[in-house]
Amino acid sequence: MNKNELRGEFSICKDLNKQFDKNKLGLKGFAKYDNLLLVQFAREQEKRYGEPLYSKETGYLQNKLEGVGQELRTIRKEGDRSEDDEVTKLSKELKNEDDISDTLLRIYDYLLKNWDLVYSLQATYSVLSELTDIRGNWKSNSRDKRAYYKILRFVEDEKNMDFIGK
């Protein structure tokens, strides 16, 4: 990590967006890697630094989120419509709320709650990529950037070991 990145020229949010975007480029509907640590970190950043967010186009995010809900129903092979209810509620909030910052946080929570089933889906990383794209940026300090780089190194080591073996 160089000093320019620590001083502020580097955006954690934009880099996470690139990480999630790259990860969705797997094969046959599956992502390349399990990025749980990056998702948890993004959620924490959103919780800490997510300021009110108004008037954003969320149609693409809504579609991708509904895709994750649909994939979950398929994986579970149940008649349980609770996924529909949760996804529908989040989609409506994205469409109807003036400030969508709380909804973005709840989408992270939804993904993390279902992580054991959605970690390998391309649709999951499409949602994550869109979440960081919509946010645009978070205020981050040097400590956050160092923590992010530490997680990135760990994730890169995991990738080198082909940890999830796809």
Answer yes or no: are the C-beta atoms of 58 and 134 closer than 8 Å.
Answer: yes
pLDDT at 126 over 70: yes
Q: Report, as an integer, the average pLDDT of 118-125.
A: 91
Over the chain, what is the mean pLDDT?
85
Does the predicted model carry a pTM greater than 0.75? yes
How confident is residue 9, by pLDDT bands cut at 50, 70 and 90? confident
Compute the half-sphere exposure of residue 6: CA atoms within 13 Å on the CB side of its CA.
8
C-alpha–C-alpha distance, residues 119 and 51, integer Å:
27
Domain assignments of the chain as residue spans, ordered by start: 10-160
Between 122 and 8, where is the model more confident? 122
pLDDT at 160 over 90: no
Please name the helix (run of DSSP H) or strand (run of DSSP E) that holds residue 63, with its range, or none.
helix 59-76
Look at residue 18 in the predicted model and tell me its pLDDT.
93
